[in-house]
């Protein structure tokens, strides 16, 4: 009886204090062998008692060969402030040589395998190697074609763009006759002055209708729209000349400051780079890209104003809804072919002025009504579109 209690204490200490075992691992190991560790120890104890009492080895309970041998070594007792306990035991488990054991990297009762180097597994994967070989074997043209196929594009965007072209041909818009690029073809003034007129017109066009902007440009030209004359003009006079324009006080100040910079740094001409234009007060990225296209005939980006920003979001020409025109420009340039950058601003601005305004668009007269994602979401105007846009003669 004393020996049985002694072995029970050994089992408890083995499950709680051994550095090689945990209660969970010990139980799992015993379950795998389909035999209780306690029962095996009892059988071994009964066998030893039978030999001492003179019993024959045939009467003793045999022990299965699959049960590992347990060696118990006495360790030196440790001293501590706690209640004195019995000396710790170091348990060593040795499997029988004829038993097929698990891999040496993990414990037999451990369910979770040891972690391996993921990078080495990926490197050794034949599927990854074959995919890498296929990519490397592609020619530059094939690789570029595969990248283009993976590039995001909106649905039916070519059909929508063709329909917008047809509607723009049938219905002219104010931007076609009174836009900021109408001054680049005026042969009555030198080329340097024409480029300056284009820049000033763009600076006035921010949050202003084309009709109002065109009238202000006519008054400025009659007053004398040159950098030297603008610098010599008082700010109050400039404010009266551009009065109907939105933020006319700030714009009058910016135009005069920019004219002084042009005289000091560019000999009265405008910069021919985006960085140079952005350094001028009152000039943003939209104005800079439009100025490069209209004044220098160089396409550097898409000019995105409120019309282009709104229509691109309504047509879902951006992967997700954008909050600013600059975000729309970045998203649009990622997928729209470069050969369309020059005309997309003129097309969408005129389309937004005639058929697709911000409030109550003319969806019933739009050729894209069947495929437009925004049809009916912003109201539908039932009154007919004004087909003719008259440009009144202005008297100053």
Query: What CATH number does residue 381 fall under?
Result: 1.10.1670.10
**Is position 148 within any domain?**
no
The whole-number pLDDT of residue 130 equals 45
**Is position 360 within any domain?**
yes
Residues 252 and 272 in one domain: yes
Residues 168 and 309 in one domain: yes
Residues 350 and 380 in one domain: yes
Token pair recorded at residue 316: 């879902």
**Is position 102 within any domain?**
no
The whole-number pLDDT of residue 99 equals 45
Select from 274, 296, 318 the last residue of a domain.
296
Buried b (16+ CB within 10 A) or exposed e, 30-65: beebeeebeebbbbbeebeebeeeeeeeeebeeeee
Give 319's DSSP letter.
Answer: S
Enclosing domain of residue 350: 157-172+304-393
Instruction: Domain count for the chain, please give it.
Output: 2
**Is position 340 within any domain?**
yes
Residues 324 and 292 in one domain: no
**Is position 31 within any domain?**
no
Residues 290 and 213 in one domain: yes
The whole-number pLDDT of residue 96 equals 44
The CA distances from residue 386 to 60, 172, 199, 324, 355, in Å, are 112, 10, 31, 30, 10
Residues 317 and 382 in one domain: yes
Residues 385 and 327 in one domain: yes
Select from 296, 315, 333 the last residue of a domain.
296
Taking phi over 0 as left and psi of -120 to 50 as alpha, with beta for the rest, 379 belongs to left
Could you confirm whether 286 is annotated as catalytic? Answer: yes
**Is position 3 within any domain?**
no
> Could you tell me the CATH number of the domain that includes residue 275?
1.10.340.30
Say if residues 241 and 220 touch (Cβ distance below 8 Å). yes
Residues 284 and 374 in one domain: no
Residues 258 and 200 in one domain: yes
Residues 166 and 234 in one domain: no
Q: Which residues of the chain have pLDDT under 50?
A: 18, 55-80, 83, 86-136, 148, 389-396
**Is position 150 within any domain?**
no
Residues 209 and 355 in one domain: no
Residues 313 and 266 in one domain: no
The whole-number pLDDT of residue 131 equals 43
Q: Which candidate in 251, 256, 285, 286 is catalytic?
A: 286
**Is position 74 within any domain?**
no
User: Could you tell me which residues come within 8 angstroms of residue 233 by beta carbon, excluding any fewer than 6 positions away?
Assistant: 223, 256
φ, ψ of residue 186 in degrees (nearest 5): -75, 105
Give 363's DSSP letter.
Answer: G
Select from 296, 320, 349 the last residue of a domain.
296
Say if residues 187 and 151 touch (Cβ distance below 8 Å). no
Q: Would the pTM count as exceeding 0.75?
A: no
């Amino acid at each position: 009886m004393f020996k049985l209690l002694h072995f029970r204490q050994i089992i408890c200490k083995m499950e709680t204090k051994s550095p090689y075992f945990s209660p969970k691992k010990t139980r799992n190991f015993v379950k795998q062998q389909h035999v209780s560790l306690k029962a095996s120890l009892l059988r071994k104890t009964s066998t030893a008692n039978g030999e001492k009492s003179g019993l024959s080895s045939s009467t003793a309970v045999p022990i299965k060969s699959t049960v590992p041998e347990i060696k118990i070594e006495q360790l030196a007792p440790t001293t501590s402030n706690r209640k004195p306990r019995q000396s710790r035991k170091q348990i060593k488990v040795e499997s029988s040589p004829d038993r097929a054991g698990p891999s040496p990297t993990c414990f037999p009762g451990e369910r979770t395998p040891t972690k391996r180097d993921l990078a080495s597994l990926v490197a050794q994967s034949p599927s990854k190697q074959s995919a890498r070989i296929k990519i490397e074997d592609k020619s530059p043209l094939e690789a570029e074609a595969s990248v283009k196929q993976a590039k995001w594009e909106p649905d039916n965007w070519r059909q929508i763009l063709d329909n917008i072209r047809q509607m723009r041909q049938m219905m002219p818009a104010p931007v076609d006759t009174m836009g900021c690029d109408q001054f680049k073809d005026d042969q009555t003034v030198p080329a340097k002055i024409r480029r300056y007129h284009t820049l000033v017109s763009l600076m006035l066009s921010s949050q202003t209708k084309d009709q109002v902007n065109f009238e202000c440009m006519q008054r400025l030209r009659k007053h004398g729209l040159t950098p030297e004359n603008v610098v010599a003009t008082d700010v109050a006079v400039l404010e009266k000349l551009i009065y109907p324009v939105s933020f006319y006080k700030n714009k009058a100040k910016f135009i005069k400051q920019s004219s002084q910079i042009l005289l000091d740094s560019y000999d009265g001409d405008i910069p021919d780079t985006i960085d140079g234009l952005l350094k001028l007060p009152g000039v943003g990225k939209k104005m800079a890209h439009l100025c490069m296209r209209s004044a220098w005939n160089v396409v550097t980006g898409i000019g995105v104003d409120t019309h282009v920003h709104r229509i691109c979001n309504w047509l879902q020409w951006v992967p997700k809804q954008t909050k600013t025109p600059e975000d729309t420009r970045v998203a649009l340039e990622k997928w729209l072919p470069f050969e369309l950058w020059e005309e997309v601003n003129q097309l969408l601005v005129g389309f937004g002025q005639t058929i697709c305004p911000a409030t109550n668009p003319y969806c019933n007269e739009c050729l894209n009504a069947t495929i437009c994602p925004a049809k009916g979401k912003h109201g539908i105007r039932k009154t007919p579109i004004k087909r003719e846009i008259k440009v009144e003669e202005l008297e100053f």
